[in-house]
């Protein structure tokens, strides 16, 4: 049976901010503590709003309807959009639109997927297809499901300035970016994904607002710390209760009204809060309490590698966050694949093979990371492997390079095949960037849509960003960098789906599909077993990775030669479930360069 839902009926959630349709009309609410008076401009008519305790202004308009445009008018006569707008009439500077949240869901029985089953594909809606819309992206969901992916992670869709961008400079955190489609279009995309058995996570940015279109400074400067900044602008003051509600309710809104399966919180190290109950802990608690009947997953990006964010309780259940993007694994893998050791890779270059083992054993090479980072001297806190999302590339690692090269363009094909096998057949959660499954070679650049001084600031900043990700190629200068504001830079970042049907694309798809199939058959059942997973690295020469994971008595064994020469490897006890070996490989206890063998308890390897 189809289901029609209203936002206010979902898990008892009612927004503190914004325009909400109710039985007696549309209620408009905004926090503007620096304003003496506020007016609501709706359908061409200005109405005075009622000021209540704590700097809130509120007004209910009986005749307002879904689709009507509205704005808030400040004491000086300036009209500003709703910071909790669900949709815009134009861009971030234009009036907001009242949105009726009703939607007829088709896949009403969907309850999500257990995290242990996660195989993630990250996509950018604007660059995933030539059209760059939710509707067009929905047409490609069958491909992802057919490959064996179980989770889609969507880069931010909150309304940002201009028509194109990565989405991390959003200023209207409740609105879907108008270039991608309407809120209903996004719901249809999620609904279609569920129909294909795909869970959907949304990337959200709770650490800053974008530099263009944020009017909060004018009427609610208390929203921000007066003397604290992030790398991208003013830091948010989570000590203010209205600010806390804005973001916590935003998380509840996306998961509740849009039926998302979870969120990925961007750069949480830039979320500063000295409150007794940290905003991250409170957000996690409220989300989990609101959706007890669904599989909902919260993922973080955290440059500090805080172990406390990922800890489990005595029964192995998630306490705060489900998993974290594991840059540490990426960095050691990238050095092995490319030889690049500058920028972000520098702390991992020394003792590379030891740090590679640490990443496989414990997830973090540098837990609770110091500056400069140091390897822990004491016993490490146990975290299960599924607390770590491992990847060989993501939007940052590709797009922040000077020329947006993917790993396939930087490393030898046999090296990428080997590392891909290690990625999928290790117990950590595997993650591919869009196009990686069919071997896309098209670069993915940093792109935006800023003009004037702001546009020039972004252009100048690209060189500094690129230095952290490999720097410039020999013979290239800063003048050769793609202009992030040029529409051609965006167009050249779009996937070329025709490659998927090329000989190379079909071969790559077959290989990735095989690995995902093996993961679902052998690795996922092990992760679902109760109890602690133990891991051990066997003594081996530099260049060899020999790790055993034990799941309730059953052992998963990985042997990989990551070097460019033939090397001896420790023996394994189980039955081989996968190997990447030369056809004439002799059985002399050694492995050829770029070779992998994975073995499992013989009783399970059927």
Q: What is the 3-state secondary structure (H, E, C) of 357-399?
A: HHHHHHCCCCCCCCCCCCCCCCCCCCCCHHHEEEECCCHHHHH
Helix axes 413-425, 327-338, angle to 10 degrees: 160
Cis previous bond, 372, omega within 30: yes
**Enclosing H/E stretch for 29:** strand 25-31
504 is catalytic: no
d(CA 9, CA 31): 24
In eight-state DSSP terms, residue 125 is: H
Query: What is the number of residues in the chain?
Result: 606
Dihedral sign of CA atoms 104, 110, 115, 117 in order: negative
Beta bridge partner(s), residue 318: 312
Residue 506, H or E segment: helix 503-518
Q: What is the C-alpha radius of gyration for the chain, rounded to an integer number of angstroms?
A: 25
Q: Which of 212, 266, 396, 405 is catalytic?
A: 266
What is the biggest distance separating any 2 CA atoms in the chain, rounded to whole angstroms?
A: 85
266 is catalytic: yes
DSSP for 74-110, please give it. -TTS-EE--TT-S-BSSSTTSPEE------EES-TT-
- Nearest in space to 579 (alpha carbons), one of 503, 505, 504, 514: 514
Q: How many CA atoms lie within 13 A of 106 on its CB side?
A: 11
Cross-strand partners of 323: 299
CA torsion through residues 59, 62, 63, 64, sign: positive
CA separation for the pair 256, 101 (Å, rounded) = 11
Say which of 20, 301, 327, 440 is annotated catalytic: 301
Beta-bridge partners for 548: 536, 557
For the annotated catalytic residues, the residue numbers are: 266, 301
């Amino acid at each position: 049976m189809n289901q029609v839902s209203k936002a206010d009926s979902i898990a008892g959630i009612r927004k503190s901010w914004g325009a909400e349709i109710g039985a007696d009309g549309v209620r408009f609410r905004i926090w503007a503590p620096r304003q003496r008076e506020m007016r609501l401009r709706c359908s061409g008519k200005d109405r005075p709003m009622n000021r209540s305790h704590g700097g809130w202004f509120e007004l209910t308009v009986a005749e307002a309807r879904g689709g009507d445009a509205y704005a808030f008018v400040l004491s000086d006569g300036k009209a500003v959009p709703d910071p909790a707008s669900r949709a815009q009439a134009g861009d971030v500077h234009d009036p907001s639109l009242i949105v009726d949240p009703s939607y007829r869901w088709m896949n009403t029985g969907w309850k999500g997927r257990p995290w242990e089953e996660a195989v993630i594909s990250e996509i950018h809606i604007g660059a995933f297809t030539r059209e760059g819309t939710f509707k067009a992206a929905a047409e490609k969901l069958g491909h992802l499901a057919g490959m064996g992916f179980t989770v889609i992670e969507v880069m931010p869709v909150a309304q940002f300035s201009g028509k194109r961008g990565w989405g991390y400079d959003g200023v209207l955190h409740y609105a879907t970016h108008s270039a991608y489609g309407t809120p209903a279009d996004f719901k249809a995309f999620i609904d279609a994904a569920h129909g294909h058995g795909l869970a959907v996570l949304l990337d959200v940015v709770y650490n800053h607002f974008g530099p263009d279109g944020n009017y909060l400074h004018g009427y609610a400067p208390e929203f921000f710390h007066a003397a604290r900044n992030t790398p991208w602008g003013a830091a948010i003051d989570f000590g203010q209760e209205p600010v806390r509600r804005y973001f916590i309710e935003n998380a509840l809104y996306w998961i509740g009204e849009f039926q998302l399966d979870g969120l990925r919180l961007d750069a949480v190290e830039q979320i500063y809060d000295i409150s007794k109950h940290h905003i991250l802990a409170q957000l996690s608690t409220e989300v989990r309490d609101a959706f007890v009947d669904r599989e909902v997953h919260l993922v973080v990006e955290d440059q500090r590698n805080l172990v406390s964010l990922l800890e489990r309780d005595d029964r192995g259940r998630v306490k705060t966050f489900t998993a974290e993007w594991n840059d540490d694994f990426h960095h050691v893998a990238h050095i092995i694949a490319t030889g690049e050791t500058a920028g972000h890779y520098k702390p991992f270059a020394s003792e590379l093979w030891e740090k590679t083992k640490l990443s496989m054993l414990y997830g973090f090479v540098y837990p609770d990371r110091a500056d400069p980072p140091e390897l822990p001297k004491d016993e490490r806190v146990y975290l299960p492997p599924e607390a770590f999302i491992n990847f060989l590339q993501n939007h940052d690692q590709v797009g922040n390079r000077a020329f947006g090269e993917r790993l396939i363009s930087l490393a030898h094909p046999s090296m990428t095949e080997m590392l891909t096998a290690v990625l999928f057949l290790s117990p950590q959660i595997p993650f591919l960037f869009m196009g990686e499954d069919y071997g896309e070679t098209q670069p993915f650049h940093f792109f935006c849509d800023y003009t004037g001084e702001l546009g020039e600031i972004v252009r100048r900043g690209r060189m500094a960003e690129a230095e952290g990700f490999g720097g410039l190629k020999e013979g290239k200068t800063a003048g050769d960098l793609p202009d992030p504001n040029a529409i051609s830079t965006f167009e050249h970042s779009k996937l070329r789906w025709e490659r998927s049907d090329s000989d190379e694309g079909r071969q790559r798809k077959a290989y990735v599909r095989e690995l995902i199939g093996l993961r679902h058959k052998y690795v996922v059942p092990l992760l679902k077993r109760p109890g602690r997973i133990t891991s051990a690295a066997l003594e081996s020469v530099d260049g060899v990775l020999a790790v055993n994971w034990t799941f309730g008595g059953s052992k998963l064994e990985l042997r990989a030669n990551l070097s460019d020469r033939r090397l001896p490897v420790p023996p394994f006890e189980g039955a081989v479930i996968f190997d990447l070996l030369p056809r004439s490989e002799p059985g002399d206890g050694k492995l050829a360069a770029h070779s992998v063998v994975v073995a499992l308890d013989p009783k399970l390897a059927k």
